């Protein structure tokens, strides 16, 4: 945060999103998601749990939080008995 209270990364992030979509005719202004979506059907519980754990651990790996359930936008809190921002059916 800058001294005047504004977010210091805003312009930098918008610039990066704009640059990401600059050479893609399908994108009008900004690219937020990275290329390379590889959708897979999750048939096995072990495989599902592996992918769910990977998603939940991303904020920990990025050092945003110490514990997955502490990340505000994660469903990890639902999997440890808490209540997150959205309705989650724990499997």
pLDDT given at position 27: 78
Asked whether residue 29 falls in the same domain as residue 51, the answer is: no
Domain assignment of residue 91, given as a range: 40-91
Asked whether residue 87 falls in the same domain as residue 53, the answer is: yes
- Residue 6, SS3? coil
Asked whether residue 89 falls in the same domain as residue 57, the answer is: yes
Q: Residues 75, 56: contact at Cβ < 8 Å?
A: yes
Asked whether residue 67 falls in the same domain as residue 25, the answer is: no
Number of domains present in the structure of the chain: 2
User: Using 50, 70 and 90 to split pLDDT, how confident is the model at 1?
Assistant: very low
pTM, two decimal places = 0.58
Asked whether residue 52 falls in the same domain as residue 26, the answer is: no
Asked whether residue 52 falls in the same domain as residue 17, the answer is: no
Mean pLDDT of the chain: 84
Tens digit of pLDDT for each residue in 51-65? 999 999 999 999 999
Is the pLDDT reported for residue 45 higher than 50?
Answer: yes
């Amino acid at each position: 945060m800058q001294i005047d209270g504004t977010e210091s990364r805003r312009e930098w992030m918008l610039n990066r999103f704009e640059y990401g979509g600059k050479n893609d005719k399908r994108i009008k202004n900004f690219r937020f998601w990275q290329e390379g979506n590889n959708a897979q059907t999750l048939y096995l519980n072990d495989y599902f749990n592996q992918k769910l754990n990977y998603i939940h651990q991303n904020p920990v790996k990025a050092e945003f939080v110490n514990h997955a359930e502490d990340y505000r936008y994660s469903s990890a809190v639902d999997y440890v008995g808490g209540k997150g921002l959205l309705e989650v059916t724990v499997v």
